[in-house]
Amino acid sequence: MKHLSFFCLFSLICLASFAQESEINIYGLYYDFDLETEYLIELDPYTASHEVVGELEGVQAIALGTSTFNDNNHQYIFKGYNNSNEFKLYTVDAFTAEIIDQPTTSSYPDNFSIELEFDMKTGQTYGLQYDFENEVQTFVRVNLQTGGVTVLGEIPEIDGILLNTSTYDSNSSRYIFIGRDNSFTTRIYVINAIDGTVISNAAADYLGNCELQYDNNIDELFGIYREIPDSLLNDSIWSSPSTPLQIINIDEITGDYEVAANVDGIDAYYLSSSVYIQDSSDFVFVANDTAFEKRMFVVDVETGEYFSNEMGNENFIELKCDNTEFALRTYQSSNCESFEFSSNVVCYEDYFDVVLAFLGEGEIFLEDNLTGESYTTTSADVSVFGPYEFGSAYSFTAYPVADNSCSIEQTISTVSCTTTDLELLSFEATNKAEFNLLQWSTYSESELVHFVVEHSIDGLLFTEIEKVQAIGNSNIRSDYKFQHKTDQAGKHFYRLKAINGEMETAFQSNTIEVLRKNAFSIVVGPNPVENILNISYPIDQQTISVQIYSVSSQLIMEEFIRLSDSQNFNLDLSRLEAGIYFLRVLGNNGIEYQQKLVKN
């Protein structure tokens, strides 16, 4: 079996900063051997000072070369082992050191993806993973919530990865790293992150363990480099090279380079210690000077100017820069705020369908990540894919054609539909004077507890409105009905879930639709709203309930309003973060009103 080669000389690991005129946010990991505790620390590259953010509870060991930074949400990401020796993918709030997610992944070599890089434009995380069964290096997309990976492509004829040499071009969705092919030639590999294809692999034997950093502000690739004279290459005793350390500007397609800065007075630099400040185009790294003092160097790649500060002897590893302000300012657009993409599975007797729904204006690009097929649709369409066999997977990516930075992925690695003896004979909705009448019939129920009735006004955001008790066990036809009291004009969507004795979903119906023509004259505005939402409720009520749900149908806030004679009131939403929500107003006469709400 071929062995994957990794090349590393020193291994301290990456540092970073922010713009000089802004608050500095560089994060890394530090282990206190006396307390046997792992900490998240924050560094200031312009003073080389640091402070502890907080303890990483339960973290025992770090997998070097696996860290990255979520530049959309101020989150530090790395792989490591917990105190139970379980291999985890950690997502950490950089402000508090709180561990947000820590899905368990299989340990090396089964799922050991390395060189993780975060795409500031799409919010996706990519990396490299060796497929030991097929003996091939693969390019993968990593799911931070589940820890699973999606293989996007293979990188043929590659023998090894030079550890901590990867970087990412968010402008063009390109993953860049240094590797060695089967003939041991060092190459700069450029990967198309959308489809996993190799764009180029220019030979660059001069590089060795060069630290690459991509400047997404000026669209240039830089590296940290030192030319080693031939006389020193075969020395058995280390001698300090007389050549200066250089920051070089590299053409990743041809492998050619130009010198951007000469940094004198350096004895040796710490491999994997570099980071990049996107706002100020500063290349930051750690090195020992000629007096063998550890110092942090900051180099302006556009002017060639640099300075350094003494660091001390602490061994901070896996340093990463928080470029969130740059990422949000550069890539976030108004289109993303109104775009949503969701998937639902509809199970049948021996197969399942995947139903995809969208929110957003204009045309939407949709790609089946497993087949590579792509489609163009609109938010008015509901796309159905299938049939799929039980136990199989699905993966789709969608974004507005007008802005591919709003990319959202829906992936399930294994779909397991719980089979029951339930057979849904019919499910329909009828428009009545003061309500929508839902009726459904089943045949041969087994161990059912109740049905959950879910409602939506757009076919995307569903909320539970009622639980209807099931017969439970029956081998004959059973009929059910439910009155949804509403006088709201427009389309109404409904679906059913059958819940069994283990409180699991045994069956989910297709989505059905009914159109109401009589308008419920409640007035809600403005929408989008900044802070104060005005609501006018014209029907005679003493008290109404106003509820705000997230796009995942989680109840965010609820207020009970006692109406005055004017029946007008204001709702303060200033504590809500910007985004898309779901408003529900329910009167004590049972009539409700629902609406999508955008908070600026």
Q: What are phi and psi of 173, to 5 degrees?
A: 55, 55
How high does pLDDT run on average in the chain?
82
Separation CA 8–CA 110 (nearest Å): 22
Cβ atoms of residues 276 and 284 within 8 Å: yes
The pLDDT score that the predictor gives to residue 401 is 76
C-alpha dihedral sign at 88, 555, 455, 406: negative
Separation CA 245–CA 228 (nearest Å): 10
CATH number of 523-599: 2.60.40.3080
Q: What are phi and psi of 326, to 5 degrees?
A: -65, -45
198-202, 271-275, 550-554: the lowest-pLDDT one: 550-554
CATH number of 423-516: 2.60.40.10
Separation CA 379–CA 376 (nearest Å): 10
SS3 514: strand
The pLDDT score that the predictor gives to residue 239 is 46
Q: CB-based burial of residue 447 (10 Å sphere; 0-12 exposed, 13-18 middle, 19+ buried)? A: middle
Q: Pick the residue with more confidence: 475 or 449?
A: 449
pLDDT at 417 over 70: no
C-alpha dihedral sign at 20, 22, 26, 32: positive
Average pLDDT, integer, range 430-447: 82
Closest by Cα among 111, 71, 72, 109 to 88: 111
In the chain, list all ranges with CATH 2.60.40.3080.
523-599
Of the pLDDT bands very low, low, confident and very high (cuts 50, 70, 90), residue 520 is low
The pLDDT score that the predictor gives to residue 174 is 95
Of the pLDDT bands very low, low, confident and very high (cuts 50, 70, 90), residue 590 is low
The pLDDT score that the predictor gives to residue 507 is 76
38-52, 174-188, 237-251, 392-406: the lowest-pLDDT one: 237-251
Closest by Cα among 391, 450, 452, 384 to 419: 391
Separation CA 15–CA 29 (nearest Å): 11
The pLDDT score that the predictor gives to residue 521 is 61
C-alpha dihedral sign at 225, 229, 233, 236: negative
* pLDDT tens, residue by residue, 425-434: 778 888 876 7
Q: Which CATH class is domain 5-331?
A: mainly beta
Please name the residue that has the structure tokens 């713009």: 19
Separation CA 16–CA 283 (nearest Å): 8
What is 334-412's CATH topology? Immunoglobulin-like (2.60.40)
Of the pLDDT bands very low, low, confident and very high (cuts 50, 70, 90), residue 59 is very high
Of the pLDDT bands very low, low, confident and very high (cuts 50, 70, 90), residue 451 is very high
In the chain, list all ranges with CATH 2.120.10.30.
5-331
Average pLDDT, integer, range 415-422: 54
C-alpha dihedral sign at 337, 527, 599, 493: negative
SS3 341: strand
Average pLDDT, integer, range 174-190: 94
* pLDDT tens, residue by residue, 288-319: 888 889 999 999 999 999 999 998 878 888 88
Q: Pick the residue with more confidence: 441 or 221?
A: 221
Of the pLDDT bands very low, low, confident and very high (cuts 50, 70, 90), residue 565 is low
* pLDDT tens, residue by residue, 112-159: 788 999 999 888 899 999 888 888 899 998 888 788 888 899 999 998
Q: CB-based burial of residue 125 (10 Å sphere; 0-12 exposed, 13-18 middle, 19+ buried)? A: buried
141-150, 410-419, 510-519: the lowest-pLDDT one: 410-419
The pLDDT score that the predictor gives to residue 321 is 93
What is the value of pTM for the model shown?
A: 0.57
pLDDT at 554 over 60: yes
